[in-house]
């Protein structure tokens, strides 16, 4: 079992570039992939999506790539000749501007350094050639996917333990409901006979056969054995899902709906306070199960 939530980061370097992959995954009805790639790297999308679809079944997944050229020390330290050339260029510009009456603001030291770096080639922002980067970036993305899957598996293992505990609660409550069903039918029979007796007050009493027939009809309507059997079948199916290696989130979500349907029927048929209380406890645990199932891939 895997969760749909997770986060993974992977950094890499190649071909004079350094990059960082950030993968975030949250709950989703299906698989929704959002590729946030820098300008000029759009061609990567076609190579990355099949990898993600093969690795992930459900979840809203955002993959963010940040990349920049590795800085070279020589480009960050302009040589003296470059600095002198930048100063001379600024002086020439100021003299030309002053000759025609154009005022110029003072130039800061930071601006002078920036100009020198640009002249030395360290300030240019070059668009990289993407072709040699496709293979290493794709490989790095696959590794980031593996890291994300590991996180989702770890979270899925925690979810599996929580759901297993909830299934133990459901099994116990279904057993209690089964034991209370016989008591409920007997209680219904006794209450119906008493009410009929009170209404008739000994006058024009119903024939015993007719009375037993009416009681039998009421008892059949209150019989919850079919609901108990279906709850046990859903319980067994859920345990099978917990042991499965395949994505089970959709099936688990469906089973929670079926659990809830049978429990609602038990509550509506309940003829005793005890059975009603058991039904309400079942509904509470099933709602908790539904909340956990919403996180499962």
What does pTM read for this prediction?
A: 0.69
pLDDT at 36 (0 to 100): 95
Across 186-208, average pLDDT: 63
Q: At a CB cut-off of 8 Å and minimum separation 6, what does 97 contact?
A: 103, 104
Find residue 282's DSSP bridge partners: none
CA 44-50-52 angle, to 5 degrees, is 95
pLDDT at 51 over 90: yes
Q: Please report which confidence band the pLDDT of residue 154 belongs to, taking 50, 70 and 90 as the band edges.
A: very high
More confident residue, 230 or 195: 230
Across 254-275, average pLDDT: 90
pLDDT per position as a tens digit, 4-20:
999 999 999 998 899 99
pLDDT at 207 (0 to 100): 60
Burial code of 136-152, b = ≥16 C-beta within 10 A, e = fewer? ebeebbbebbebbbebb
| Spatial distance between the Cα atoms of 269 and 221, rounded to a whole number of angstroms | 7
pLDDT per position as a tens digit, 77-133:
666 777 777 778 778 887 887 888 887 777 666 666 666 666 555 444 455 678 889
> Backbone phi, then psi, for 280, in 5-degree steps?
-65, -40
Q: Please report which confidence band the pLDDT of residue 23 belongs to, taking 50, 70 and 90 as the band edges.
A: very high
Orientation of helix 131-200 relative to helix 249-269, angle to 10°: 10
**136 with 238: CB under 8 angstroms?**
no
Of the chain, the percentage scoring pLDDT greater than 70 comes to 76
Please, what is the average pLDDT of the chain? Answer: 84
| Spatial distance between the Cα atoms of 198 and 211, rounded to a whole number of angstroms | 14
């Amino acid at each position: 079992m895997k969760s749909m939530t997770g986060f993974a980061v992977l950094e890499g370097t190649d071909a004079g570039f350094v990059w960082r992959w950030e993968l975030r995954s949250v709950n989703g009805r299906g698989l929704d992939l959002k590729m946030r790639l820098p300008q000029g790297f759009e061609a990567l999308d076609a190579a990355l999506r099949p990898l993600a679809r093969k690795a992930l079944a459900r979840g809203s997944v955002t993959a963010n790539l940040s990349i920049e050229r590795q800085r070279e020390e020589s480009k960050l330290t302009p040589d003296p000749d470059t600095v002198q050339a930048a100063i001379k260029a600024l002086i020439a510009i100021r003299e030309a501007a002053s000759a025609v009456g154009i005022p110029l603001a003072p130039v800061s030291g930071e601006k002078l350094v920036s100009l020198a770096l640009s002249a030395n080639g360290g300030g240019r922002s070059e668009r990289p050639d993407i072709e040699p980067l496709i293979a290493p970036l794709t490989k790095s993305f696959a590794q980031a996917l593996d890291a994300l899957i590991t996180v989702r598996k770890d979270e899925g293992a925690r979810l599996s333990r929580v759901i297993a505990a909830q299934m133990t609660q459901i099994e116990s409550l279904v057993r209690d409901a089964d034991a209370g069903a016989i008591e409920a039918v007997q209680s219904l029979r006794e209450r119906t006979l008493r009410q009929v007796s009170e209404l008739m007050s000994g006058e024009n009493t119903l024939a015993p056969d007719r009375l037993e027939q009416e009681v039998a009809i009421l008892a059949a309507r209150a019989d919850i054995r079919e609901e108990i059997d279906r709850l046990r079948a859903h319980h067994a199916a859920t345990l099978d899902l917990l042991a499965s290696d395949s994505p089970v989130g959709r099936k688990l979500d469906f089973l929670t709906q079926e659990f809830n349907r049978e429990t609602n029927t038990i509550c509506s048929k309940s003829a005793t306070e005890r059975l009603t209380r058991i039904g309400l406890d079942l509904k509470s645990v099933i709602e908790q199960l539904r909340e956990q199932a919403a996180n499962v891939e």
